[in-house]
Every structure is written in structure tokens, then in C-alpha cells.
Homo-oligomer: A and B are copies of this chain.
């Protein structure tokens, strides 16, 4: 119980700060007079006061956080912040149900990017800005989570990255370590966002769209201010900019950080995920471009390459933009795209899924198993790049991937049980757990999650949190052992 109060103290402070970030859309709303000014004023009022009250009431429990508090804090941040992030949606759109508003906020803060809103082009700009901003803020949190916190907590084999995180991290206290790491990563993240925004503007977006889409590109969050997503512009140049920055954001931010500090590109060469990520994604683009051209879905090879590349990279990096309704392509292609979204992104990025690092360890373990069957006494150490990995980590990775797969199976079963057809149910499970966004069937790229029932919407929100917190962070908090002294 004490643990909860300690964590609520930190959480309260974060909620208050989060409330202040609503000042940005408030300013936009007031400046444009788009009618949503009062929405953000009330939201800030509620959020700030709740945060401050939580903080003040638990002040006397303040102490240095321990590792185990970390699990709880992470879970509460991603489960409770959306309850405040959804306030502008609730106030501005009176028809929106609670489940849908919470879904939209979770989708933003987990950088999933599936939406329940339609008529995006007619929303007040400040509301769209807020949608982009929560993706971006969520992305900030996710990078720090991935690079600094989950490795410390030892979730799903991430402890191998403990040694590689930048900054004076080892063996010091929890909070300053994380703060130090965070600062460096955020600098990179913010700089890349700025560059991306300028590139979008240069390629033909207006200033507002450039800012909003730079937010959701770097966060790999996929929210757009247009119902047609990138189909709105129908511009190869804008799509090219998006492709480049989605690929950049799919790389480990720790690698970007090291490259930036060393002022050279050596770190990219030694990134154990980068090569595989680019190779698999680009080979898929090329292969399916040929396929789409060969089967005359696009008569021109360059058009085929354009549509294949943008949509495949968008799904593989778990961004979730679309430039056409790819669910109408031969079903093999969308299936392969969902498959890619499961494992392509790097472990220190804002992407979802099991991450390339774990996929590589799994692949290697299969190979080791074959060798051991033929030479029962042979010892082949597990490696990632040149680093030898302990059995402990390999176990953690294998178990992680299982829990991932079992979660998809169970979510699919629950959603079909609730009455959803099999294609929508399965793709919703995959798209939410991978934090991808759009699925197939009833939640395909040309439609939204709005058709789901309340129950199904809550399940999808839970699935997004489960995937984003890498299962174990969430599961651990539900074990009785966690709450014992």
C-alpha cells in the first residue's frame, strides 16, 4: 500500500505537468478562435487540480523510487494519463462515449494511432494538434521506457541493453540515471521532429499539417488530420519524406544518440537490429511492388513501387498511415504487412511488436537447437552481434514472444466471442498489440474503430496498453507477490 502512495506522489506531479502541455493547443485554439478554447481551459483546470491534489495528499510518502516501484509507475502512467488526455475529446465532442474517448487517448499515448473519430478534416485544428501532441509526448515516454526503464526492470530480455545505454547509468540511483539518459534522447527526438516538420512543409504540407504529422511520424503514431490519411495529398514527394522519417524513427534512438555524440556514423554499423530491419522492409517493398505490377493492380511499375513502399513501410514500422486502401490488395500482402509489423522495428524506437532484437535471438535459438540435436554435447553460445547473451536473457526473450502470441490468440478469441467477425477480430488484436493502428476488415485503413461496441473498444484499449508495456510490466503488477513486502 505504501508503494502505491509513493508512486501516486510521482504520478501526481506528472499529471500536473501533463496538464500544462495542454497550453499549446489552448494557445492555438485562442489564436484561431476555432471554438475549442473553453475545452482546453476546462481540461487544464481538471488535470492540473487532480495532479496537484494527488501530489499534495501523498507528499509525506515521498522517497527514492526502487526498481519494483518502477513497474507500478510505468503501468499507472500509461493507464491513468489517457483519462486526462481524453478530456478535450469528451468536452469537444459530446456524442463521444467514454470508451471511445479513452481509446483515442490510449491510442495516442501508446503511439498506436488507431482512431475512433471520423470527419477529421472538420475537427477544430486545436483538437487535431492535441491528437498529434499526445502521440509525440507518448513517444518521448516510450523511448525512455525502451532505452532506460525496461532494461533496468529486466522485461523480456531487455537487460542486455543495460550496458549499452548512454550516460553515466550503471549502479547509480534510479531517478537521476533515467533523467540523464532521457535528456540526451529527447534532444535527438526533438531535433529530428523539427527537421521532419521542415521537410514536410518544404514538400507541400501547410504549417499546421507539417507540425501535426511530424509529431505522429517521429512517434510512429499514425494519427492524421485527414480521413484519407496521406491519400489526401496524393503527393509522391510528401510520401518520400514520410518514408525517410518513418525509417529513421524505426531505428534505436540510443544508436542515433551515440552517433550524434561521436559525430560519426560508426554506431549504425554496430547496431545489431538496423541491417536486418532495413533489409527485410526494403526487400518486402521491392517484392510486393513487383507483385502488384505483375498482377496488374498497378499498370505502371513506378506507381506500384510508390504505393507498395509507402504502405508497407508505414505498417512495418507500426506507424499506421496509408495512402490507399491496401486491404483491397490480394490478401497475402496485407497479411505479410501485419507479419512485418510484429517484429521489424528496433528495440529503442517508438515502434511496436516484439522488436527485431528478439526476433534475431529467436531465429538464432532455432539454429542452435538444430545443432544441439545433432551434436548433443556441443556448446554454442548465444550471441547478438559480438555480445554473448546469457541463458537468462534467451529465456526471457522466448517467454516474451510466447506471451505475445498467446495474447494475440486470446484477444482474437475474446473479440470473436463478443460478436466480431474473424478478420476484424484477428487484425484488431494484431494491430492493437503491435501498436500499429489500422487493421483489416471492419477496422481497415479506409475505416475506423468507431463501429466496435463499448466492450470491444475497452478490450482494444487494454490490448494497446498490454503491447506497449511489453506484457510483463502489466502482468507483474497483477501478481500477489508484487504487493508483498
Contacts and interface: CB of A to CB of B under 8 A. Distances in A.
B374 A472 contact: no
Q: How large is the interface on A (under 10, 10 to 19, 20 to 34, 35 or more residues)?
A: 35 or more
Nearest to A399: B369
The secondary-structure label for the interface of chain A is helix
A472 B413 contact: no
Contacts of A472: 369-370, 373
B153 A399 contact: no
A372 B405 CA distance: 21
A31 interface: no
A469 B335 CA distance: 27
A224 to B, nearest CB: 27
Contacts of A422: 331, 335, 423
Nearest to A412: B335
Nearest to A482: B374
Q: Which of A373, A374, A396 has the most CB of B within 10 A?
A: A373
A380 to B, nearest CB: 12
B413 A396 contact: no
A365 interface: yes
A440 to B, nearest CB: 9
Contacts of A399: 365-366, 369, 398
B336 A373 contact: no
Interface string A340-366: 000000000000000000000010011
Interface string A366-391: 10011111101000000000000001
A282 to B, nearest CB: 19
Interface in A39-72: 68
Given A331-B422, A399-B398, A423-B422, A371 B413 contact: no
Nearest to A416: B332
Contact of A373 (B339, B405, B476): B476
Contacts of A68: 374
A154 interface: yes
Contact of A413 (B336, B373, B395): B336
Contact of A332 (B362, B392, B417): B417
A475 interface: yes
Count of this chain's copies in the oligomeric assembly: 2
Nearest to A403: B366
A422 B370 CA distance: 31
Given A402-B362, A422-B331, A395 B369 contact: yes
Given A369-B399, A395-B369, A401-B402, A374 B335 contact: no
Interface in A395-428: 395-396, 398-403, 405, 409, 412-413, 416-417, 421-423
A394 interface: yes
A369 B396 contact: yes
Nearest to A291: B417
Given A335-B416, A336-B413, A476 B402 contact: no
A405 B372 CA distance: 21
A36 interface: no
Contacts of A482: 374
Contacts of A403: 366
Contacts of A423: 422
A155 interface: yes
A371 B421 CA distance: 37
Contacts of A398: 365, 395, 398-399, 402
A481 interface: yes
Nearest to A402: B362
A180 to B, nearest CB: 23
Interface of A: 68, 153-155, 330-332, 335-336, 339, 362, 365-366, 369-374, 376, 391-392, 394-396, 398-403, 405, 409, 412-413, 416-417, 421-423, 472, 475-476, 479, 481-482
Top 5 A-B pairs ranked by shortest CB distance? A398-B398, A332-B417, A332-B416, A369-B399, A331-B416
12 contacts: A330-B417, A332-B413, A336-B413, A339-B409, A365-B402, A366-B403, A369-B400, A370-B472, A373-B472, A373-B476, A401-B402, A402-B402
